[in-house]
Structure 1
Amino acid sequence: MRYVRMPIEVESPEEYGYGRIRYNLSESSVADRSVAGLGLTIPDLTLLYGEHRGGGELRRLIAETSGGVVADDVLVTVGAAGALFIIATALLGADDHLVVVRPNYATNLETPRAIGCAVTHVELDFESGFRIDPQAIAAAVTSKTRIISVTCPHNPTGTMLSAVELGELVALAKARGCYLLVDETYRDLSFDGPLPLAASLGEHVISVASLSKAYGVPGIRIGWIITRDTALQERFLAAKEQISICGSVIDEWVGEQILTRRDELLTPTLTEMRRRRDRVTEWIAGEDLLDWVAPSGGVVCFPRMRSEPRGGTDAFYKRLLEEHGCYVGPGHWFELPDTYFRLGYGWPTAEELEGGLQAISAALRG
């Protein structure tokens, strides 16, 4: 493995220092929750080795809230990042080939590079609405392709596949004898309702998700892999056992409480995120220096500058942070030009979001 630190992590707000940022619009989740804010009192848990697959009740709740699968199809992991690492290292080697869409969440790109497998990026472009084109995916598949990797809802653009397009990808992967990996981390934040769980559509389909983004609990590190292929599930379990054996019993207990109250927590979150998307839509409509593709899910969008700002993009980001205290995710986090940036509208308070939007407009004009 040839590990290289990813820009999105090197330049993350937690590395830069939250206290140095006034308007943090770089985050990709809803606001972080606290134990007290969730109304939880952690009981006197025995800090033992837990079930290697993840606690039975937690896996049952994940399966129940996902739909179309059972608890035995679920492997609990250390966040979605841990899930993606397990899948890549379990299925890809130097002689294999991966087809992955770009831009993308950095781990979906960097871990395969560290493994040394061949990678074909299917570029999603602004002009087509960042649409994932099944025909473009099909053209990239070779006899050595092991995995087709997509995200839905997409990070960083917030766009989504249609049910028909998802079905086409499921059929394509089956016909070409490879796995379809769908990163569904934002599935619970699909504004017009979620697509069917991808893993429920075939044994060759793998779903990945977590509690981090939609529920505001990235600190408990609860993610999961779902596959109906029992042999593949055992391989992923073997990987997990060699990495961490099991998960944290405290984290898993908190995860159970959250999923037990899923609708109570998620319904107001979706209402608020739709309202915030509408506010960003209104701002973009009045901002003649930016263009965007409106998101259909998640809490991020990916605006594009219509032209280079005064002094260039480096000067823009410097002004934005140093003069206005606002932080966004520049395009190079996603291997695109810095005329793009990821704007997260779910994490800041409503007042901070408003301040951040005005800061971006001011910094664009110098």
Structure 2
Amino acid sequence: MQYVRMPIEVESPEEFGYGRIRYNLSESSITDQRLSDFNLEIPDLALIYNEHRGSEALRKLIIEENPELSVDDVLITAGAAGALFIIATALLSPQDHLVVVRPNYATNLETPRAIGCQITFVDLSFENGFKIDLEALQASVRPSTKLISVTCPHNPTGVMMSEGELRQLVQLARKHGCYLVVDETYRDLSLGGALPLAASLGSHVISVSSLSKAYGVPGIRLGWLITSDKNLQEIFLAAKEQISICGSVLHEWIGEKILANRTAILGPTLTEMRRRLGIVSDWINSEELLEWVRPSGGVVCFPRMKSIPNGGTAKFYQRLMEQHGTYLGPGHWFEMPDTYFRLGFGWPTSEEFERGLEGISKALRG
């Protein structure tokens, strides 16, 4: 494994320093929550080794609306990042081939690179509405392809596949005898309705998700992977046991309480995120220097500058921060030109959010 730090992590708000940012529009989740926001008080828990697969109660809650899946199809991990790491290191070797969409969350790209496997990128384009080109994806599959990796809702664009497109991908992977990984981290933030849980569509499909983005609890590091392939699940469990043995009793207890109340929590969140998306839409429509593909899931979008701003893109981001206190996720976080940027509309307060949008418009004009 050849590890390299990812720009998105090196330049993340927590590394840059939250205290230096007034209007943080770089985040990809809703506002960070406190235990009191969920009316939770930590009981006197026994700090034991937990069930290696994760709390059974938690795993039941994760698949409760999918009767075709069982509790043993779920493995609790250290966030979605932990799930993606387990999948990549368990399935890929330098002799294997991966097909992955790009742009993408950096872990979906960098862990396979660290392994040294062969990678074919299927690049999404602004002109095609950031939709996956299924023909290009199929043409990228080789006899050595072990894994196809996609994200829906997509990070950083917020674009979603249709159910028909998802089912086509499932069939394509089945036809070629490879696994399909669907990073569904934003599934609970699907603004027009969620797709079927991908892992419910075939034993060769692996779903990945977490509580970090939709519920605002990245600090408890709780995610999961789902597959109904029993042999594969045993391999993933072995990987988890060698990394951490089990998860945190405390984190899983919090996760149980949140998911047990998921409907009541998500209702107001989705209402607010739809309102904020409307604000972004109105702003983009009135901002002659930008264009975008309107997102349909998650709390991020990926606008593009119509021309290079005064002084170049580096100067734009510099004055945006220094003069307007606003922080964005520049395109290079996603191996894209810095004329693109990820704009997160779920994390800041409403006032901070709107001030940040004003700052972007001013910085674009120098």
Kindly state the Cα deviation for residue 342 of structure 1 after the two structures are TM-superposed: 0.1
Residue 174 of structure 1 corresponds to 174
1:216 matches 2:216: yes
1:16 matches 2:16: yes
Contact 1:67/1:197, CA 8 A, preserved across alignment: no
- Going from structure 1 to structure 2, the CA distance change for 1:220 and 1:66 (only over 3 Å counts) comes to farther
Residue 45 of structure 1 corresponds to 45
Looking at structure 2, the residues matched to 67 and 19 of structure 1 have their Cα atoms a distance apart, in angstroms, of 46
| Mean CA deviation greater in 172-181 or 62-71 | 62-71
Q: The residue matched to 1:288 in structure 2 has which SS? A: coil
TM-score (structure 2 length as normaliser): 0.99
Looking at structure 1, the residues matched to 67 and 16 of structure 2 have their Cα atoms a distance apart, in angstroms, of 39
1:187 matches 2:187: yes
Residue 6 of structure 1 corresponds to 6
Q: The residue matched to 1:265 in structure 2 has which SS? A: helix
Contact 2:88/2:112, CA 8 A, preserved across alignment: yes
Describe how 1:78-89 pairs up with structure 2 within 5 A.
Answer: 78-89=78-89
| Mean CA deviation greater in 164-173 or 68-77 | 68-77
One-letter code aligned to 1:214: A
Looking at structure 2, the residues matched to 66 and 317 of structure 1 have their Cα atoms a distance apart, in angstroms, of 45
Deviations 1:314-333 (A, max 9, x none): 00000000110000000000
One-letter code aligned to 2:169: L
Contact 1:35/1:41, CA 8 A, preserved across alignment: yes
Q: The residue matched to 2:72 in structure 1 has which SS? A: helix
Contact 2:66/2:200, CA 8 A, preserved across alignment: no
Residue 151 of structure 2 corresponds to 151
1:135 matches 2:135: yes
Looking at structure 2, the residues matched to 223 and 134 of structure 1 have their Cα atoms a distance apart, in angstroms, of 28
Describe how 1:95-106 pairs up with structure 2 within 5 A.
Answer: 95-106=95-106
One-letter code aligned to 1:298: G
Looking at structure 1, the residues matched to 70 and 326 of structure 2 have their Cα atoms a distance apart, in angstroms, of 44
- Going from structure 1 to structure 2, the CA distance change for 1:343 and 1:68 (only over 3 Å counts) comes to farther
One-letter code aligned to 2:54: G
Contact 1:67/1:196, CA 8 A, preserved across alignment: no
Looking at structure 2, the residues matched to 68 and 354 of structure 1 have their Cα atoms a distance apart, in angstroms, of 44
Contact 2:84/2:108, CA 8 A, preserved across alignment: yes
Deviations 1:147-185 (A, max 9, x none): 000000000000000111101100000000100000000
Looking at structure 1, the residues matched to 300 and 170 of structure 2 have their Cα atoms a distance apart, in angstroms, of 26
Q: The residue matched to 1:37 in structure 2 has which SS? A: helix
Residue 233 of structure 1 corresponds to 233
Deviations 1:204-250 (A, max 9, x none): 00000000000000001110000000000000000000000000000
Kindly state the Cα deviation for residue 133 of structure 1 after the two structures are TM-superposed: 1.8
Q: The residue matched to 1:180 in structure 2 has which SS? A: strand
Kindly state the Cα deviation for residue 36 of structure 1 after the two structures are TM-superposed: 1.4
Looking at structure 2, the residues matched to 192 and 22 of structure 1 have their Cα atoms a distance apart, in angstroms, of 31
One-letter code aligned to 2:290: L
Count of aligned pairs between the two proteins: 366
Describe how 1:288-327 pairs up with structure 2 within 5 A.
Answer: 288-327=288-327
TM superposition outliers: structure 1 runs of 4+ over 3 Å: 65-68
One-letter code aligned to 1:239: A
Root-mean-square deviation (CA, aligned residues, Å) is 0.7
Matched residues, percent identical? Answer: 70
TM-score (structure 1 length as normaliser): 0.99
5+ residue gaps in structure 2?
Answer: none
One-letter code aligned to 1:7: P
Looking at structure 1, the residues matched to 186 and 15 of structure 2 have their Cα atoms a distance apart, in angstroms, of 24
Contact 1:68/1:197, CA 8 A, preserved across alignment: no
Kindly state the Cα deviation for residue 105 of structure 1 after the two structures are TM-superposed: 0.3
Kindly state the Cα deviation for residue 66 of structure 1 after the two structures are TM-superposed: 5.8
